[in-house]
Structure 1
Amino acid sequence: MAPLSPSKALAKLQQLQKEHEDPKKQLAILRISEPIASASDVEVPNRSPAKRSSDVSADTLDNPTPASLEADLTHYKELFSKLRFSYLEQVTKEKFLRAIVGDPPLVVGHSENVELEAQLAEAKAELQRRKEEVRVMVEEMEKMGRELARRYKNIQLQTTQLSTLPDKISNLEATIAALRAKQTINADVSPSKGSSQNLPLPATLSLLSEREAELAALNRQLATLQSTLPRKTREAEAIERELGVLERRKGEAVAQAREAKRKKREGESDGLEEMGRWYRGAEKSLKQLVGVEG
């Protein structure tokens, strides 16, 4: 099956949404409350309009929710329980009266009572079994209803998201077309620039292998440099210490030179000049002795 285009997908989605908006096809909470609501709306003769047989509000019938339906179910269970008790009471009284006023009167013996009690026990056991089956069935239906409600909410959310996808797909297709056109123009203007980006798969794998080999070589060089870093750091610290000593010596020598210059300018003699003349005279005498011309 060929994939649908964004426009066709959007049209299909809008058609599904229109069908979903149809009241006959629209999902809703179980319409089991409709017969009850319609029966309660029927006008009964000789009954006051203000008199109501139940406490179910009209709003819950118009807009049923799981909580309201559960409350209504509990309410109706109580009403049906009372009604059944009243019915059994009236039927029992009627049977008793017919039995004692009949001609001849109905007389029930002990054996018949025992037989009726046995039948009643069997009927009660069958009723309990049916009730258990109904209870299990109701639990399964409730579980299935919750699961369907969760899936329905997910479908609604996904439908909302899908309604925005065609526009996004169209924008992405336009962006891809623009990028392809731009790439083609760049390849025509400077083929060497985009040559590495337009290689076939084997050439790309080969280029990738070369880059990985270069990266491995750089990693080895980096590891070597990192191993020599502590030694270079110690050497730099030693050189810094020596530089500090030389800086101090330089400062002392500069201070001495300034002091000597000051004394010379003031006419004081610190003995350095006489010592220098003596050294120059001694140097000249030694050169004459050894025959070296100065």
Structure 2
Amino acid sequence: MDTEIQHKVAETARLRDAFQKDAFHILQLEETCLKKARNVERFNHPGTHTPKAVEADLAYYRTLFSKLKFNYLEQTTKERFLRDLMQEPPVDIELEDIQEIEAGNLVSKKELKKRKTETQVRHEQIDYTINSVADGYHQVKSEFEEVAPILAEIAELESQLHELEGDDTSNQVTIHDTLRGDIDTCRDETARLQRTAEDLEDELKRLATQQKSEEAFAAEAVRQALTKDPQVQELYDWFTEAQNVLATLFGVRLLKATGPDSVQIIYDYTEKDDKYATLDLTFTESPTFAITEAK
């Protein structure tokens, strides 16, 4: 039993010496880190803030953190081992416990790896979102700078539009009054023309009635003249036949003498609606018989 205790004491002394050496090694690493940190602070000025410099510093601190973490875990494990050795009775660790711990460590490692992967993915998503937001911000800012003059111009145009609307209202009132006066004038003129047209229609009907009575009187005079002179009857028959020929060939409905040297030809004469076309011919008495006027 004494031999076992002495063996444990010797092992404890050996572990204490190793712990002191490790503590001295940790102090050396800490001093080295402080020196490097001072060097970084001394050279840390705006000119060195470049992506490559930042990546180099990040890689350096990651390596340093890994070393410190490993040293811390190693030191903690040694301290725990020493405490376990100093306990009475000593704790016996069986193979099943080791296998169970290793299985738990394996599961923890897988979970840690999974979480690291998720963290990396989220980190990439955050970087992408930040870049997208920054690009969108710059784009919106540039678009706003482009739109600002247009908005000012729109406001100015709206003010001018309001002014023009006020002017247009007064102008429209004036134009409306002018148009109303013109419409009233046109209505009066239309009424006057309608009255004139009615008067002309009445006059036309009166003249048509007078013409019919005069034509009847002329026919009666011709009839009486024909009964007195056979030569006149022959001339009248020839005139009637010639008038029928002209009506058939040229559409002449009436041919009458309006004077000693003038003749009136009426085309397409219809007694139903009193529509006809007339041609007045004026002759001249000369060695060469000719028409001097036609209308």
Q: Which has the higher strand share?
A: 2
TM range (shorter): 0.3 to 0.5
Q: Which has the larger radius of gyration?
A: 2
User: What is the TM-score with the length of structure 2 in the denominator?
Assistant: 0.36
**Which one has more relative contact order, counting CA pairs under 8 Å at least 6 apart?**
1
